[in-house]
Structure 1
Amino acid sequence: MKLLSSAAALLCLAPLSVTASPHTLFSSSQVTLKEAFPVDGNNPLEYCTNPDGDVLSIKSVDLSPNPPKAGQTLTIQAEGTIHKRIEKGAYVLLEVKYGLITLLRQKPDLCDQIVNVDLECPLEEGTMSLTKEVELPAQIPPGKYTVHADVYTKDDERITCLDARNIQF
């Protein structure tokens, strides 16, 4: 549950096709690259796809320490704008991996999770800022972790989608 709370705290706050024309006599090929959409601030977060049109526009997320350290307090500071009221029934498609091993794959109710960062539903339109301290357990096994959170309203409209890749403990 502590890992879920930490992941929710981190995350509460597109593919692009490129055609490459090699100058060879034998063939041409098409290469698909994934365009990066980093979240502003001192953090390991990236948007899964272009965030234009998402219900939540994240201005910045700062983590201290970055990267997080087992047994220490993680301080999260985030700012953003909610463009549409978020009500009970909003949900998160959450996946946490340790290397290639999936530790957690859940679909928790967003409103049940945001109480861990001292928020509650409904979340009204407007700007908001958040500062939260999370005690990370000392027993987090060393290794690389990946967190993916795809967040939707009760009407299946994307709130945001975030990835934190290769978080080293």
Structure 2
Amino acid sequence: MDLNQFKIACCLIFAALLAQSIDATNVKYCGKESNYPVKVSTVDISPDPVVRGKPATFSIAASSEQPISGGHLIIDVAFFGFHVHTEKKDICLETTCPVEGGDFVIAHTQDLPAFTPPGSYTLKMKMVGEHGEQLTCITFNFQIVFSSGVADS
């Protein structure tokens, strides 16, 4: 291992330790109603902050009081409070279906265009069951930056 590889390895270890000490993304339920059948425990964003022009993965750890055999996610994104993007995803493409009652993870990777403005964003995600019933609704904030500050290899 040469000196540059050693420095990069040390930086990655430090970043991993720092990431473990930082609180997970602050998640809020939509509105005052939070008695949803699906409870969200954490949202992990990688990388955090998100780098424009690079893929970002949003992993949502949740639990369900009931089995989920299908449905969809409705994702709305706002930039400094202004709506900028909406998409609808099949739940079964983001996690393994059927989801039995209990813990599960929804993971979605999004490639962000290089022209995405840096700044503060808010994501609102509604999970709707196959019969149109709302299973959960959450919001959380995230940041998009120009670059990660680490040289790309």
Structure 1 length-normalised TM: 0.54
Determine whether 1:84 maps to 2:66.
yes
Determine whether 1:97 maps to 2:78.
yes
Hey, what's the Cα distance between the residues in 2 that align with 1:44 and 1:58? 11
Q: Which amino acid aligns with 2:51?
A: K
Note the C-alpha offset of 1:161.
Answer: 0.7
Corresponding residue number in structure 2 for 1:110: 90
Corresponding residue number in structure 2 for 1:55: 37
- Which of 126, 137, 143 aligns to 1:161? It is 137
Query: What per-residue deviation string (whole Å, max 9, x for no partner) do you get for residues 72-107 of structure 1?
Result: 45354543212112233x23343222334432345x
Hey, what's the Cα distance between the residues in 1 that align with 2:144 and 2:116? 11
Structure 2: stretches of 5+ with no match in the other structure: 1-22, 146-153
Hey, what's the Cα distance between the residues in 1 that align with 2:72 and 2:109? 23
Note the C-alpha offset of 1:165.
Answer: 3.4
Cα pair distance change 1:72/1:159, threshold 3 Å: same
Corresponding residue number in structure 2 for 1:65: 47
Query: What per-residue deviation string (whole Å, max 9, x for no partner) do you get for residues 108-142 of structure 1?
Result: 2533xx52x4x243322122246676554433222
Structure 1: stretches of 5+ with no match in the other structure: 1-40
Query: Conserved in 2, the CA contact under 8 Å of 1:42 and 1:66?
Result: no
- Which of 99, 114, 139 aligns to 1:123? It is 99
Hey, what's the Cα distance between the residues in 2 that align with 1:133 and 1:93? 15
Quick one: percent identity of the two aligned structures? 21
Query: What per-residue deviation string (whole Å, max 9, x for no partner) do you get for residues 44-70 of structure 1?
Result: 432214564312122222223333222
CA RMSD in angstroms comes to: 3.2
Q: Which amino acid aligns with 1:91?
A: H
Hey, what's the Cα distance between the residues in 2 that align with 1:132 and 1:101? 22
Query: Conserved in 2, the CA contact under 8 Å of 1:44 and 1:67?
Result: no
Cα pair distance change 1:51/1:122, threshold 3 Å: farther
Corresponding residue number in structure 2 for 1:22: none
Structure 2 length-normalised TM: 0.58
- Which of 101, 108, 114 aligns to 1:138? It is 114
Query: What number of residue pairs does the alignment pair up?
Result: 123
Cα pair distance change 1:47/1:67, threshold 3 Å: farther
